[in-house]
Amino acid sequence: GAPAAGRAAAVGLRPVQPGARALPLDRPTQVHLSQGDRDGSAITVSWMTTNVSRSLVKVGRRPGRYDRTYGGEAPAQRYHYAYAYQPRAYASGLVHHQRVSGLEYDTVYYYVCGSE
């Protein structure tokens, strides 16, 4: 949606450039960003892993230089579904959600997400 009246455009976030080092252990998949509050100064980073791990997002204004770390707000969740016409029930990977707050408008941020 459009930014709030009198506000600059929403915060810009960019993933780390290809070839950059990921956080160790379980590599995140299906990474998704969404607005994390009403005024647009926060986002929620969501991703999936296969192993139980602590959620962690590092954010900075330069690639590879992350001066803020967010983590551990909520445990990852696994979703289970059973279907009448399917022989086995479905179990998702572990879904992580981490809120990143205090972001400034008209600023590009770089981030990595994963686990410790």
The two three-digit tokens of residue 84, written as one number:
């009448």
The closest of 101, 91, 94, 107 to 51, measured between CA atoms, is: 94
Mean pLDDT of the chain: 79
Residue 14 — pLDDT band, cuts 50, 70, 90? Answer: low
DSSP 10-51: PPEEEEPPTTPPPPSSS--EEEEEEE-STTSS-EEEEEEESS
CB atoms within 10 A of CB 19: 5
Specify the pLDDT at position 21: 53
The hierarchical CATH code for the domain 12-114 is 2.60.40.380
pTM for the whole structure: 0.71
